[in-house]
Amino acid sequence: MESLNVYASRLVTKREHFAPGHRACQGCAEALAVRLVAKALGQNVVVASATGCMEIISTPFPFTNWRVPWIHVAFENAAAVATGAEGAYRALVRKGALPEKGTVFLGMGGDGGTSDIGLQALSGAFERGHRFIYVCYDNEAYMNTGVQRSSGTPFGASTTTSPAGKLKAGQVTWKKNMPEIAAAHGIPYVATACSSYPFDLMKKVEKAAKAGGPAYIHILSVCPTGWGLPSEKAIWIGRLAVETGVFPLYEVEQGRYRITVDVPAQRPVGDYLKPQGRFRHLTPEIVEQIQTRVTAEWEKLRAKTAL
């Protein structure tokens, strides 16, 4: 799939449902991810968006970037509102008040809105088995309010609430494995994606829309501002995250694991950590520690795909 990129990119639809002219920072890979998700889902979709970067950049009053129905809700209940809309729609269809048009319901939030604050509502929505998609745009901290740590922040990253100093080298806990939590609910479709691999991402979103039950997609969204990167390096660092094995791209379909972008020869994690300002303080020992963890996680994932 990857090496098809040149002509395939010309054949993807040019219809945009997330309009240009939003107020994201230069090089924001999260806005790119939103655009690709909106593109893959088409026009027949209802979006419920948690508070976060994507809400403030796309809907500064009185403007909007959304060409599809879009609801802004509080941090904790994006999943609840998306499933509520879905429930209402199905009820109206059942009573014959609306025709069945295959409308897709999408809940979305950042890593904070998903793995910290919104986890309870999300878990409930998965458990109730609504036919909806939840997309987590993971930029690994609360970037909207100025880079505070979240449970999605990786080990060793310096943020304003986990600053690197004499006593501690940034974040002291490991990143919460949100896709695994979603997969543990036994929902039909879970996938990880990255906006540096657009075709892979769009394919997964299309699959999620057809899953026939709750689907969860975790998208690594590079944030040049919060990660301490030049804006033109956003796509490149996303690819490095995959090539070093820090963020493996896989999908879980009906409990079956499959790695979608395989990396036969992984690069050392140093290649990924070094260009980023938030990891600037790391000593070789800590890098070694991260490498050990990444390798172990990768082996675990490999073991699951072999099942």
- State the residues that interact with another protein by CB under 8 A: 3-4, 6-8, 10-11, 13-15, 43-44, 101-102, 233, 236, 239-240, 243, 265
For another protein, which is the closer residue by CB, 183 or 269? 269
Structure tokens that stand for 1 in this block: 């799939």
Kindly state the smallest distance separating residue 234's Cβ from another protein, in Å: 11
Residue count of the chain, please give it.
307
Q: For residues 35 and 149, which CB has a smaller minimum distance to another protein in the complex?
A: 35
Comparing CB distances to another protein, the nearer of 10 and 95 is 10
**Beta carbon of residue 13, minimum distance to another protein (angstroms, whole number):** 6
Cβ proximity to another protein: between 89 and 174 the closer is 89
* In the complex, minimum distance from the CB of residue 37 to another protein, in angstroms, rounded to a whole number: 18
Closest CA to 267 of 233, 291, 243, 286: 243
Q: Name the minimum Å distance from CB 15 to another protein.
A: 8
Contact 81/105 with Cβ under 8 angstroms? no
Smallest gap from Cβ 213 to another protein, in A, equals 17
In the bound state with another protein, the residue whose beta carbon lies nearer, of 8 and 91, is 8
